[in-house]
Amino acid sequence: MKMEKVANFFKARFVVNVSELGEDDPLAQNASWLFPPQKVPWYSTKVSNDGKVGCFLEHFNITRGKMLTVVGLDTGSFQDSMLMGSTSDFKNSQLNWLTQSLEAAADNWIIVSGYHPVVICDKEQQEAKQINGPLQNIFMKHGVNAYMSRQGCSSHTVQGGVTHIGIADPTGSQPLVHLNGRLSIQKEMINDGFLLHRVGSLEITTYFVSSAGEIVNEAVIKQHGKEVM
């Protein structure tokens, strides 16, 4: 199932490419042939190590006045600080930006994407472990509904009211792509299938669909954000 066919069928409104390379990702560079920017905007996460924060924040009117905030984080600074056991101006700058952005957001749904996970699961996917306390605390404080990453738990897990969804990819060979379609439908291409998100007023249902079109798993994200806080 090719990405452009999926996007055209579901009339995708935007694409979020969860990648380490940002705009330099070959997939993002080639996307202009398939997704004209004026019709389907393309956003990419990145992992920086040069002190330049690569983040984005966009607002989308989903349905009946319900709004969705989509945030892309540059998780490079968080990985560096975890490895070195110290903080940096790069990390603090991004934490401040994220906090201020979420404080100003009045949307019904908030979904954050980043390459590295905030929560990881064991091999059996039975137990989850939080590995980035500062980010998780911000997510919980400001009503983030879901965090989606390239790695972490291959299905989903809920920590502090935040649903963490990720596709584990040890090879790192293919970035995860998010497509948000019209009528509150979002799809993300993965190695052997895609994720389908159906957004409603009080919940998001995420279907894990194989390339054969079979639903292999699903997750329900309940509304707990600013609308009900």
Per-residue pLDDT tens digits for 6-37: 566 666 667 777 777 666 666 666 666 666 65
Q: Tens digits of per-residue pLDDT, 133-176?
A: 889 999 999 999 999 887 767 667 888 889 888 764 544 434 44
> Does a structural domain hold residue 62?
yes
Q: pLDDT at position 175, please?
A: 43
> What pLDDT does residue 79 have?
67
Sequence-ordered list of residues with C-beta below 8 angstroms from that of 225, at least 6 positions apart, any chain: 108, 109, 110, 143, 144, 145
What is the CB-side half-sphere exposure of residue 43 using CA atoms within 13 A?
A: 22
Does a structural domain hold residue 228? no
- Residues contacting residue 219 through CB under 8 Å, at least 6 positions apart: 155, 156, 163, 165, 205, 206, 208
pLDDT in tens, 55-113: 888 888 877 777 888 898 888 777 655 555 556 677 788 888 899 989 888 778 899 98
| Pair of tokens at residue 75 | 């998780």
Q: Could you tell me if residue 18 is inside a domain?
A: yes
* pLDDT of 165: 82
- Does residue 72 lie within any of the structural domains? yes
Residue 99 confidence (pLDDT)? 92
DSSP string, 8-43: HHTTEEEEEEE-SBGGGSHHHHHHHHHS-TTTS-EE
169-200 pLDDT, tens digit each: 544 434 444 444 333 334 444 455 566 666 77
81, part of any domain: yes
- What is the structure's pLDDT at 178? 45
Q: How many residues does the chain have?
A: 229
- Residue 223's region, left for phi above 0, alpha for psi from -120 to 50, else beta, is beta
Residue 227 domain-assigned (yes or no): no
Domain of 214 in residue numbering reads as 3-222
Q: Is 100 buried (19+), middle (13-18) or exposed (0-12) by CB count in 10 A?
A: exposed
Number of folded domains in the chain?
A: 1
CATH number, domain at 15? 3.60.21.10
